[in-house]
Structure 1
Amino acid sequence: MIVNSPRFDLVVVGAGIVGLAHAYQAARAGRKVLVCERSPRAMGASVRNFGMIWPSGQAQGFVQEIALRSRDHWLQVAKGAGLWHNPCGSLHLAYADDEMQVLEEFVQFGASQLDVRLLSRDEIAARYGAVKLDGLRGGLFSSEDVCVDPRQSISEIPAYLQREFGVEFRFNTAVIGWDAGVAKTSRGDVSASHLLVCGGDDFQTLFPETFDSSGLIRCKLQMMRSQPQGADSQLDVMLAGGLTLGHYASFEACPSLPALKQRFARDLPDYKRWGIHVMASQHGTGEITIGDSHEYFNLDSPVPPFDRDEVDSLILDYLNTFLNVPDLKIAQRWQGVYAKHPEKTFFVAHPAEGATVVGGVGGAGMTLSFGLAEKIIKELN
């Protein structure tokens, strides 16, 4: 039986950032949209991250274009919804000659779509008091990267979409089936032209056979957040240490990167073992978000719910090599789990008539969400 009778053009499953972005793009295109979220509020990977909109870390070409489009939409949404956001850019720091060489090569080979420039030690010292100067060779500043507060964003974007675009939300409502024009939910059936599944790492509820053959894996990460910092401990930029050069696809164009990765593996084996690279972002509350690690699991392997003290200690030890914040105290620790594909930037499938699955964006969900959604919604049209 069809309940709540208005027919929707699109039912979006999941109110994390990927689902919200698709609801936004569909509503902007004139579609009548319903978002169903099984929880009182999305509390998965979309709120357990740095809040970094990070085009500078994405692979050159198509993916970086999506990231830059996503950034533009983020700025519009943040302004419209009254969200705290800071277009402060990012700063990759180099404390070794081989790290600095990769940054120099990036400007030459990998930054054609970006506004980036190298900064000297003295320039960094003059601008960013929270950066440690001992051993600093220089850094790479990327102006397009933007910081948002993921907790505020995921909490407040739904009201903005409802107010500005008429998007309807039903929280505490799971979508448990799809039958060509009918979304079966835990609170009754809903008539719709299309179903769009943005369920994060939920691979069991809808179209499990599609996920079984998708090649997707799960990634568990550990992160921390400091107590609010005072006016004398403001970062004024998002920071990344040398290890990050081996993590993001944008640096793959740098000829000396393989040698740098070999040094990291030789000299920092525990960091390689736990997939650690270290970054820091600061939100309007003054808290500093710190992370992170990466442990990978196949879909048939359970993700342990227990954090490792060793991993947190390694992260903080490395952070201490470049961040100068006296008496930094950790107020919160958590783990996140997201889905990613080992080879693809994102995963899209059409498992049934009128149904599309979008996911597998890995740790780039905040960065790619609005740009990817723009692409998917255009294709659905």
Structure 2
Amino acid sequence: MKKSAIVIGAGIVGLATARALATRGYEVTVIERSSKAVGASIRNFGMVWPIGQPEGKLYERALHAKSIWKEVLAGAGCWSHEGGSLHMAYHDDENEVLQQFAETSSYRPVQYLNAAATLEKSPAVNGKQLLGSLYSADEMIVDPREAIAAIPGYLTAALGVTFIWNTAISRVTYPQVFSGAKSWSADEIFVCSGQDFETLYPEHFSAAPLTKCKLQMLRLEAQPDNWKIGPALCGGLSLIHYHGFKAAPSLPRLKARYESDYAEYLKWGIHVMASQNGLGEITVGDSHEYALTFDPFDREFINTMILDYLATFAQFKSPKVFQTWHGIYPKMTNGQTEIVLQPESGVTIINGLGGNGMTLSFGLCDEVVGGTYAPLK
């Protein structure tokens, strides 16, 4: 007889957990409070981003997650683009970090490109005062809105996963979960509730080093004449946002300069990246504000700062913005990359992936379900 499992939440972490369980023979039911996933899992760049992870376990987890993404996207019939990424340098200290990273990253498919080679890689790069770039072949773009909507159908058709929508689980008492007068039971229960960590096991979350992050993003209209930017594009501020670049010895000096030159940007957690989806639209962002409760209104000056910085390293055929939004995701405050808890026997919480959900979830959840997970020291 098959073992059964309930997964609470149909965002990327819940979908990754459901897939990991179903591929191991579980009879899986996913219960989602909304009629479809509408949280942080669809409000992002769609970047599967190994370049942002430090070498070792997290980089390997990102590569494993990417391999699962490719399998799932193929099964769901979804678009993806393995175009890699470009980080541009316009100052000597940025250029030094990129060169050092390329020299020390012996296990990654990265290379330092001079200005001419950078412009050949992408027609969208701003060539004015460009010194060079770091190209990485690892990165893949998916359309999060398309993928998160399509993956449940794939999991149902290919792996027999059952989805129950419009059902908020308000209480868990193993082996049962409750939504009002309704209840379901399973051998194992997984809580993948994302930013809504106040509802289930709130005492465990309140004791954890966990907060929330609000980020603002924009989308530019589909580029005319099917014009493509090629790789995902990043400015220098991204070098101090992602832990992967700590491998470059001169990074602290660059960070010190940014703290002086870009103090207002760092105050609002702004670093700027651009990715293009299969429709030709370009997603741009983002900012980072940390709290447990946020003003629900977006700040227009943040969007302006993002677009101003974007113009320093990228130029598009059409710069017209047609959508703006914000997302909120849970974020660890102690430097860890996730939280995995067992609040009671038979129940597992997976949360706290921060901005790495698209990059790491498939790998992390495969480890947790497969019994190979161990927290980083």
TM range (shorter): over 0.9
CA contact (8 A) 1:130 1:233 kept: no
Q: State percent identity of aligned pairs.
A: 45
> Match for residue 244 of structure 2?
250
2:274 aligned with 1:280: yes
Please point out which of 258, 262, 265 is paired with 1:268.
Answer: 262
Q: Find out whether 1:24 has 2:19 as its counterpart.
A: yes
Q: Contact 1:93/1:241 (CA < 8 Å) preserved in 2?
A: yes
1:347-367 CA distance string (max 9 Å, x none): 111111211110100000000
1:53 equivalenced with 2:48 (yes/no): yes
Matched, 1:371 2:363: yes
Rounded Cα–Cα distance in structure 2 between residues aligned with 1:206 and 1:346: 17
What is the letter of the counterpart of residue 157 of structure 1? I
Classify 1:232/1:33 alpha carbon distance in 2 versus 1 (closer, same or farther; 3 Å): closer
Cross-structure match for 1:224: 218
Whether the aligned pair in 2 keeps the contact of 1:173 and 1:186 (CA below 8 Å) is no
Residues 155-304 of structure 1: pairs in structure 2 closer than 5 A: 155-186=149-180, 188-231=182-225, 233-297=227-291, 299=292, 302-304=293-295
**CA 1:318/1:21 → structure 2, altered by over 3 Å: closer, same or farther?**
same
1:113 CA drift (Å): 3.2
Quick check: 1:356 aligned with 2:348? yes
Q: Which residue of 1 aligns with 2:133?
A: 139
In the TM superposition, residue 380 of structure 1 has moved relative to its aligned partner by 8.7
Q: 2:289 & 2:209 partners in 1: Cα distance? A: 16
**CA distance in structure 2 between the aligned counterparts of 1:180 and 1:363, rounded to whole angstroms:** 30
**How does the TM-score come out when normalised to structure 2?**
0.96
Seen in structure 2, the aligned counterparts of structure 1 residues 113 and 185 have a Cα distance that, compared at 3 Å, is farther
Cα deviation per residue 1:1-58 (whole Å; 9 max; x = unaligned)?
xxxxx99611001000110011011101111100000000110000000000001111
Contact 2:232 2:275 in 1 (8 A): yes
Instruction: Report the 3-state secondary structure (helix = DSSP H, G, I; strand = E; otherwise coil) of the residue aligned with 1:91.
Output: strand
* One-letter amino acid matched to 1:19: G
Matched residue SS, 2:341: strand
Structure 1: 5+ residue stretches without partners: 1-5
Please tell me the residue identity of whatever aligns with 1:377. V
- Structure 1 window deviating more from structure 2 (30-39 vs 319-328): it is 319-328
* Distance in 2 between residues matched to 1:97 and 1:187, nearest whole Å: 64
Aligned to 1:339: 330
Alignment of 1:324 with 2:336, yes or no, is no
Instruction: Determine the C-alpha separation between the residues in 2 that align with 1:367 and 1:200.
Output: 15
* Distance in 2 between residues matched to 1:61 and 1:163, nearest whole Å: 35
Deviation at 1:198, TM superposition (A): 0.6
Counterpart residue identity of residue 17, structure 1: I
- Cα distance in 1 for partners of 2:300, 2:39 equals 22
Contact 1:10–1:33 under 8 Å retained in 2: yes
SS of 2:252's partner is: helix
Q: Is the 8 A contact 1:7 1:191 kept in 2?
A: no
Matched letter for residue 195 of structure 2: D
- Aligned length in residues: 372
Structure 1 residues 163 and 320: alpha-carbon distance in aligned structure 2, compared to 1, 3 A threshold: same
Distance 1:8 1:15 in 2: 20
What is the match of residue 299 of structure 2?
A: 308
Query: Secondary structure at the residue paired with 2:156?
Result: helix
Contact 1:207 1:351 in 2 (8 A): yes
Partners in 1 of 2:102 and 2:30 — Cα distance?
42
Provide the residue aligned with 1:89 in structure 2: 84
- Of stretches 176-185 and 29-38 in structure 1, the one that deviates more from structure 2 is 176-185
Structure 2 distance, partners of 1:232, 1:137, is: 28
Q: Which amino acid aligns with 1:63?
A: L
Distance in 2 of aligned mates of 1:176 and 1:133: 54
Mapped to 2, the partners of 1:341 and 1:330 lie a distance apart of 32
TM-score when normalising by structure 1: 0.95
Q: Is the 8 A contact 1:92 1:242 kept in 2?
A: yes
Aligned to 1:124: 118
* CA offsets 1:309-346 (integer angstroms, 9 cap, x no match): 11101000000111111441100000110001121011
| Closer, same or farther: CA 125–31 of 1 in aligned 2, 3 Å | same
Counterpart selection for 2:38 from 10, 34, 43: 43
